[in-house]
Amino acid sequence: MTASLAFVFPGQGSQVVGMLGELAQEHPIILDTFAQASEALGYDLWALCQNGPAESLNQTDKTQPAILTASIALWRLWQAQGGAQPAYVAGHSLGEYSALVAAESLSLAEAVKLVEWRGQLMQQAVPAGEGGMAAVLGLDDADVQAACDEAAQGQVVSAVNFNAPGQVVIAGSAAAVERAIEACKARGAKRALALPVSVPSHCALMKPAAEKLVAAVNAIAWKMPNIALVQNVTASKAADLDSLKEDLLAQLYSPVRWVESMVYLAAQGITEVVECGPGKVLSGLNKRCIKGANTYNLESAEGLAAALDALK
């Protein structure tokens, strides 16, 4: 184990048709991982990821298993290549489930079924078109929250992802999010723009989804993570299995405290952070959260080789 190393796993939005296609040609472990997930789900997840259509891949109940499986495929590839074992893992939103699989808290098959159901419950909780999310850039957290409070007018809108200093995502009822966008601009936000998502994640509208997810979470024989895992809701290490499961359920309707999670990792001596999943979203955020940290990502052959070389 490398004491200064953490692995972080991305959430929704990192998916793209064709992801991991080139790496899979060289490394059969990627196809093997997708085959396991496909068997659990009952459809060919690899074919969906490679061929699309994008509209299908972007449906939350398909996106969530796809990103989780891609992330675990890269984790297994890293291990197969003799990559260093991290001291900590964390995941952004859905990525927390990927982190839990990497830390052997539950199996890949259990996880893909769980997040597929999670996606279905999230979609059911707020019919398409009734919820929204928006990114707010260049405004401090307190101002974003004040803008949301002003814009709510009896509806739900709140700050839900604290991604990096000056980068906050808000979510809630579609009309309230629109009002909050204007309120953020009025307070001096550099940009406030609606995001192309079908579900308003991490706000109070997701509470019914969390209540329905309880039975599926409790049906799994969870194990305590074998790598220290930092959770979104607390921005600190999971203490025991009961609180881990509670926080995982609360995550559906609670903010993702990503900045605080990265600050926590830095305080534990983490200086090397590997993004394990498709895309480079977290690498960009993490540079702003932990000054001076070295960031790597594994989504390409070059990225994998560079990380393996640097973290021998």
- Backbone torsions φ then ψ of 105, nearest 5 degrees: -80, -30
| Cβ atoms 29, 72 nearer than 8 A | no
* 275: phi then psi, degrees, rounded to nearest 5: -85, 115
Exactly one of 38, 93, 98, 254 is catalytic; which is it?
93
In the block, tokens 């079908």 appear at 198
Phi, psi of 101 (to 5 degrees): -70, -45
Rounded to whole angstroms, the Cα distance separating 281 from 164 reads 11
Beta strands in 165-240 (DSSP E): 167-173, 191-194, 228-230
Using CA atoms of 119, 122, 128, 134 in order, give the dihedral in degrees to the nearest 10: -100
How far CA 187 is from CA of 64, 139, 142, 180, 184, in Å, comes to: 34, 8, 11, 10, 5
Q: Which of 176, 169, 155 is nearest to 232 (CA)?
A: 169
Distances (CA, A) of 184 to 128, 175, 181, 203, 249: 24, 14, 5, 18, 29
92 is catalytic: no
Q: Is the backbone peptide bond immediately before 225 cis, with ω within 30 degrees of 0?
A: no
Q: Which of 202, 254, 261, 283 is catalytic?
A: 202
d(CA 172, CA 246) in angstroms, rounded, equals 22
Provide the annotated active-site residues: 93, 202
